[in-house]
């Protein structure tokens, strides 16, 4: 205030958000899938993205190569880590596995909703209890239907007698009842899930492609802007960022459409 008195009057600036603050806020909603074949590759990618505000996901492939130690290394670089192991086993085994994985303090873990109510409830209880003991609030997500599974395969191979959307919704409702914090689902189902499950339930959505980028093996995609508008809480984005010549720039560019 004293400083201001000594300066010539400046016109008031319009209340314009700083652009980099804005994209930092948006980057918090991005979970970059580190689907890479080893520690060296994963850490190189993470170093490129460090400081951007995004989160990272360690999936089965990278976990199979490097084990849980990598989670600590990614956390040391400042990343909240989604450990995407899609657990599915008898309730006692899943509960004990969740407790063991919490020693590495991932921000998010996931289980298959098709494991049923008791499996999910015991996993959620174990996760929230272990998180509280460690002084943080991890989140447990449920896998609804894999995006590689179409309605026809769901009916013919798995004998599911309702539509894909109805099945996703039923699994997500069960997950919420069992105490999970959210689900992983296609952004296409996000409006339905958001409406049915309320504003606080996390919707983590893969199958995101910035306008003009390669589909890879994703069949039905939404852009980042469309996914946010559909009610997604977090967007899982892999190859459009990790296979870009300049991943940091690719991350920044995904918001051009939203701006």
- Give the footprint of ligand C5P on this chain (CB under 6 A): 33, 35, 59, 147-148, 206-207, 216-218, 236-239
Compare residues 23 and 242 and give the one whose CB is closer to ligand C5P: 242
**How many CB atoms within 10 Å of residue 97?**
17
Q: Which is nearer to ligand C5P, 110 or 181 (CB)?
A: 110
CB-based contact 94:87 (threshold 8 Å): yes
Which candidate in 4, 86, 139, 176 is catalytic?
A: 86
Residue 35, Cβ neighbours under 10 Å: how many? 18
CB of 11 to ligand C5P, least distance (A): 45
Query: CB of 207: closest distance to ligand C5P in angstroms?
Result: 6
Nearer to ligand C5P, 130 or 202 (CB): 202
Minimal distance in Å, beta carbon 157 to ligand C5P? 17
Burial of 45 (0-12, 13-18, 19+ CB in 10 A): middle
CB of 236 to ligand C5P, least distance (A): 5
Nearer to ligand C5P, 129 or 157 (CB): 157
Instruction: Tell me how far, at minimum, the Cβ of 182 lies from ligand C5P, in Å.
Output: 15
Task: Name the one residue in this structure whose structure tokens are 């130690």.
Answer: 69
Residue sitting closest to ligand C5P (CB): 238
CB 142 within 8 A of CB 84: no
The smaller minimum CB distance to ligand C5P, of residues 53 and 207, is found at 207
Integer angstrom CA distances of residue 206 from 20, 150, 242: 24, 15, 14
Structure-token match 């948006």, residue found: 26
Q: Any catalytic annotation for residue 4?
A: no
Distance CA 205, CA 147 (A): 10
Question: Which residues, including other chains, have CB under 8 Å from residue 195's CB and lie 6 or more apart?
Answer: 231
Q: For residue 25, give every residue at least 6 positions away whose Cβ sits within 8 Å of its Cβ, in sequence order, or none.
A: 53
Residues belonging to the active site: 86
């Amino acid at each position: 205030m004293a400083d201001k008195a000594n300066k010539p009057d400046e016109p008031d600036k319009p209340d314009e958000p700083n652009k980099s603050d804005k994209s930092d806020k948006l980057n918090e909603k991005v979970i970059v899938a580190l689907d890479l074949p080893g520690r060296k590759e994963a850490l190189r990618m993470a170093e490129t993205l460090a400081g951007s505000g995004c989160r990272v996901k360690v999936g089965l492939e990278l976990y199979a190569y490097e084990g849980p130690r990598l989670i600590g290394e990614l956390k040391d670089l400042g990343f909240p880590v989604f450990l995407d192991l899609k657990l599915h086993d008898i309730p006692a085994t899943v509960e004990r596995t969740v407790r063991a994985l919490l020693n590495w303090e991932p921000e998010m873990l996931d289980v298959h909703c098709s494991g049923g109510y008791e499996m999910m409830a015991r996993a959620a209880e174990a996760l929230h209890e272990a998180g509280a003991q460690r002084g943080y609030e991890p989140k447990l997500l449920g896998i609804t239907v894999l995006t590689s599974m179409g309605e026809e395969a769901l009916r013919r191979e798995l004998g599911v007698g309702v539509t894909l959307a109805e099945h996703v919704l039923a699994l997500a409702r069960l997950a919420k009842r069992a105490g999970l914090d959210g689900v992983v689902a296609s952004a296409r189902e996000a409006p339905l899930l958001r409406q049915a499950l309320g504003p606080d339930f996390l919707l983590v959505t893969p199958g995101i492609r910035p306008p003009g980028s390669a589909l890879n093996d994703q069949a039905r995609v939404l852009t980042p802007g469309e996914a946010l508008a559909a009610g997604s809480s977090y967007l899982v984005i892999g190859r459009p960022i990790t296979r870009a010549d300049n991943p940091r720039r690719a991350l920044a560019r995904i918001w051009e459409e939203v701006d």
